[in-house]
Amino acid sequence: MPDLLEVATEPTRRALLRLLAAGEKTVTELSANFPVSRSAISQHLLLLSDVGLVSARKDGRNRYYGLDSSGMVRLREQFDSFWTNELDLLVADAGRLRPPSRQGKN
């Protein structure tokens, strides 16, 4: 299965997620915002669906895509975990770079 963060951070897919945050849209509505074909947008949506970030529902001839709330929660948790780990590493690095204190010298 593809990595959730990797899938979500690709620029076109990130833009699709932003557009879907406003509500459900069809591939045609979404593709109007990009210089690529509807087929290319469909492929991006399929990948977003595969990792659980979007879901689709069929209504007549149209398929409507929307954000999957549980997938978005998982994405948020991964971002939070990533930044927590990165900040912990930064603090540890800063501690190693700190010059020794000059105790007892005035």
pLDDT at 95 over 70: yes
φ, ψ dihedrals at 30, nearest 5°: -70, -45
d(CA 66, CA 9): 17
CB 91 within 8 Å of CB 41:
no
The alpha carbon of 30 is separated from its chain's Cα centroid by a whole number of angstroms, namely 17
Rg of the chain in Å (alpha carbons): 21
pLDDT of residue 49: 96
pLDDT of residue 70: 94
63, 87, 99 from 80: Cα distances, Å: 32, 11, 31
Q: How confident is the model at residue 13 (pLDDT cuts 50, 70, 90)?
A: very high
SS3 63: strand
Task: State the average pLDDT over residues 30-59.
Answer: 96
pLDDT at 105 over 60: no
The maximal CA–CA distance of the chain, rounded, in angstroms, is 82
pTM across the whole model: 0.75
Task: State the average pLDDT over residues 24-33.
Answer: 96
